[in-house]
Amino acid sequence: MAFSYACVSLPISICTQPLLKRSQTTLFSSWRAYGPKYGIISAKKSLPFSLRIRSMASDLSSEAVVPRSVPVRVAHELLQAGHRYLDVRTVDEFNAGRPVGAINIPYMFKVGSGMSKNPNFLEEVSSVFGKDDEIIVGCQSGKRSLMAATELSSAGFTGVTDIAGGYSAWVQNGLPMEQ
């Protein structure tokens, strides 16, 4: 039985108690399930840094990157400071209303009654944004944007920030939008 550790990458490593490794593909979900139990910082909290989760198991070579997540008011301030807004909602959701200046690249497509991941997401983002651009990623409620931001960070995008609460929180806070 292999164990994994969740670590925060700072000048020093701060590691938590061991987490039971279920499989290579479920390290992130294991962290989400067991992290709060062992006092690991939740990805939903606003972090001034990215959280990297590494396995100490010899058979796991990949690394999950959880980008920082900020409230919508902070995201709005970042936009005013020059960051760019990547809206990962569907085209229909985007056309119904969006933050001013947002660029739409869907992370998922609506397929029947479900959703399917956009297989060209990284390529489409790479055609609009550079790896070092400051990107704020938002969706409707915060779930798709966290998945998209995590994928972008893992792909080498260094300035990725997730918007906690998504467009719903943006509207609730009365922040600027357009249709």
The residues carrying an active-site annotation are: 139
Neighbour-count burial of 145, counting CB atoms closer than 10 A to its CB (0-12 exposed, 13-18 middle, 19+ buried): buried
Residues 6+ apart with CB under 8 A from 97: 167, 171, 177, 178, 179
How many CA atoms within 13 Å lie on the side-chain side of 129? 29
Q: How many CB atoms lie within 10 A of CB 168?
A: 14
Q: How far is CA 32 from CA 13, 42, 43, 49, 104, in A?
A: 19, 8, 8, 18, 28
